[in-house]
Amino acid sequence: GQNIDQPTEMTATEGAIVQINCTYQTSGFNGLFWYQQHAGEAPTFLSYNVLDGLEEKGRFSSFLSRSKGYSYLLLKELQMKDSASYLCAPFLYNTDKLIFGTGTRLQVFP
Amino acid sequence: EPEVTQTPSHQVTQMGQEVILRCVPISNHLYFYWYRQILGQKVEFLVSFYNNEISEKSEIFDDQFSVERPDGSNFTLKIRSTKLEDSAMYFCASSEDGGGSGYEQYFGPGTRLTVT
């Protein structure tokens, strides 16, 4: 089976840095997506990792360690609009579906 | 920027009725998907569609569900006889290539289905 683990909730202050962790146990792992989902809205793509290491994209970076089954999303210079759920979604060989974790609800306070 | 569109944004129906949820994927995309999200729960895969046929479906996607691409632009999800537990947000998504290839899936804004 597939198992994805993320913290349920996190809080942070505007301007700060926050790291959202994701551990996964999947068979046929190919890579991992991070999506952002504001309440009542659709998930939107943030980042994508296939190889080990850090991928940087503006204020957002994502890290992957395939051997450890571990990824994190790093958000810098937090803004109020970053208050949302962050979804870790491994993707597998021989399947097109995304498998979403329950997500981490991030609240940013002034 | 191209986007996935869905109609209606909100659908209320009575238990046992049939509903059709509509989606227009991004025009050059080849793979299409339906996901659902019950309030407060995670996004769940329902079905993927490629080359005019279902490529994969989940256990949720039983005989009550069907998908169709009736023309070159629309992609529909039909629920034949709705149940209370079908109440959820239904997201359509599309991608240039299969998810296993690492192509991101673009999600539509969703249809909130309420079954009474």
**pLDDT above 80: residue B36:** yes
3-state secondary structure of B23: strand
Mark which residues 10-69 of B lie under 8 Å from A by CB: 31, 33, 35, 41-45, 48, 50, 55-56, 58
Mean pLDDT for the stretch of residues A44-68: 94
Q: Per-residue pLDDT tens for A35-53?
A: 999 999 999 999 989 999 9
**pLDDT above 90: residue B24:** yes
Is the Cβ of A69 closer than 8 Å to some Cβ of chain B?
no
Contact A91 B91 (CB under 8 A): no
Whole-angstrom distance, CA of residue B69 vs CA of residue B5:
15
Q: Per-residue pLDDT tens for B54-72?
A: 999 999 999 999 999 988 8
- Tell which residue, B22, B35, B12, B34, has the closest CA to residue B112: B12
In this structure, the strands spanning A44-49 and B88-95 are unpaired
User: Cβ neighbours of residue B53 under 8 Å, at least 6 residues apart?
Assistant: none
B contacts of A95 (beta carbons < 8 Å): 56, 99-100
Q: How confident is the model at residue B99 (pLDDT cuts 50, 70, 90)?
A: low
Which candidate in B32, B55, B105 is best for mutational testing of the A interface (most A CBs within 10 A)?
B105
Q: Per-residue pLDDT tens for A78-99?
A: 999 999 999 999 988 888 889 9
Burial of B7 (0-12, 13-18, 19+ CB in 10 A): middle
- pLDDT higher at B104 or B110: B110
- Expressed in percent and rounded to 5, the helix, strand and coil fractions of chain A are 5, 55, 40
